[in-house]
Chain A
């Protein structure tokens, strides 16, 4: 490993790599936000929806969960243009990641809500709270605390899944790294760098998650 040469090439490639990193972070963040919103809808449908709604959502959910995220990405990329929706690779990838995220968030939220003791709803009813009030003041705060570790894990998975977008041409960190290497052939060095960056991102997310968990933990 030639450190001198590496740092020269790194300096020359800095914008390309930073841009790639930026795309990774941005697309992951947007997918996490949109996927969480959609996932909340999925989770609520599964717990509180009518029979037909629950069946349809469950079927769609099992379909998404049974499909590898790579296939989701490829399918979105090739399919959506066919259906007349012209999307860039970035947008198609975003759709795929959002759907993937929502499947995890939905299932986690359902688990968290169902894990709440029935007595909580009964106690809330007993003091006269309506269903909406019960959900907002009693159930949701507890379910969210319960679902937090799994959500942090999902967020980390999203960043890892973003690497697959390089295959459909989204210029995130993996693809940016590969392009830089095609110019200077320092394969080991730049991939190691990318690996360290991914490690740091994932590690930081976990760290942040544990910090938040401690902050919102109930005194006991």
Chain B
């Protein structure tokens, strides 16, 4: 019985004529924290969005906990039905750069929506779960506040609670601090660090090099739709083997 939470095999994706992912292989085990770094256009966000099926992919496969997501296995390879895809998406949790909280619901409402409608928990239980996670991210005091009343950092922490309350097998973070004012970035990074410390399997796309160095078990450098180099943070950041990675790190001023 494999401990592999995520298996990406030969992933190819095109946007119209342009191939954005040119054969990506990536495996993650339970508790792994992997950061993907690279310049814009390298395909890192697209890769992340394929894992929770916000993007489709033309070739290759993605397996979460052994289950093939999005498409039925070869040779048939049919796109799965919408209801099934929705269920598969619940295996992952995603936190977005723009938070994307539902503005017409309170913080608590945002977190309980998935619990009641997707996991079909009874209201009282959903609220209990939601409050536990809001406490974890430090937002329990403001659970009845609406997104319009919260700062960026507070909204993002609620967004993390919303994603993780669904008990996903893997958490996906898409440049979650890029849209934040600098003084609000740390509160979010600290929440992510504590989640990592508790053993959550996480795949992050990030620009925060120092953070990636501190929190990751593995760092992946992507360039032009391919994984060019990967390894332990110390190796990747201090002894880059590819020239492009070295150049990227120089520009990123790490």
Point out residues on A near B: beta carbons under 8 Å: 117, 119-120, 122-131, 133, 137-138, 141-142, 145, 218-220
Contact = CB atoms under 8 A, between A and B. Distances in A.
B149 A219 contact: yes
Interface in B133-170: 145-146, 148-149, 159, 162-163, 166
Contact of B87 (A119, A126, A128, A138): A128
A131 B86 CA distance: 9
19 contacts: A117-B98, A117-B100, A120-B102, A122-B94, A122-B96, A123-B94, A123-B101, A125-B53, A126-B94, A126-B163, A127-B90, A127-B93, A133-B117, A138-B102, A141-B104, A142-B102, A145-B104, A218-B103, A220-B146
Interface of B: 52-54, 82-83, 86-87, 89-90, 92-94, 96, 98-104, 113-114, 117-118, 145-146, 148-149, 159, 162-163, 166
A98 B51 CA distance: 47
Contacts of A130: 82-83, 86
Contact of A126 (B54, B82, B83): B54
B113 A142 contact: no
A198 to B, nearest CB: 35
Given A119-B100, A138-B113, 4 more contacts: A125-B86, A125-B89, A128-B114, A128-B118
Contacts, number: 81
A125 B163 CA distance: 11
B58 to A, nearest CB: 20
A145 to B, nearest CB: 7
Top-7 shortest CB links A-B? A128-B90, A220-B148, A127-B114, A123-B100, A119-B100, A126-B94, A128-B118
Nearest to B89: A128
A159 to B, nearest CB: 30
Find the residue from A123, A129, A138 having the highest chain B CB count within 10 A.
Answer: A123
A142 B53 CA distance: 24
Nearest to A145: B104
Contacts of B118: 127-129, 133
Contacts of B53: 125
Contact of A119 (B52, B86, B98, B104): B98
Contacts of A131: 82
A169 to B, nearest CB: 46
Contacts of B92: 126
Nearest to A126: B94
Nearest to A131: B82
A119 B54 CA distance: 11
Contacts of B149: 219-220
B146 A120 contact: no
A128 B87 CA distance: 6
B111 to A, nearest CB: 9
B241 to A, nearest CB: 35
Contact of B104 (A122, A123, A124, A142): A142
A127 to B, nearest CB: 4
Contacts of B162: 123, 127
A129 B112 CA distance: 12
Nearest to B118: A128
Contacts of B163: 126-127
A127 B100 CA distance: 12
Contacts of B54: 122, 125-126
A141 B113 CA distance: 14
Contacts of A145: 104
B86 A123 contact: no
A142 B101 CA distance: 12
A101 B159 CA distance: 40
B3 to A, nearest CB: 24
Contacts of B102: 120, 123-124, 137-138, 142
A133 B87 CA distance: 13
Contacts of B101: 123
Nearest to B111: A127
B130 to A, nearest CB: 12
Contacts of B148: 218-220
A138 B118 CA distance: 14
Given A218-B104, A219-B148, A129 B86 contact: yes
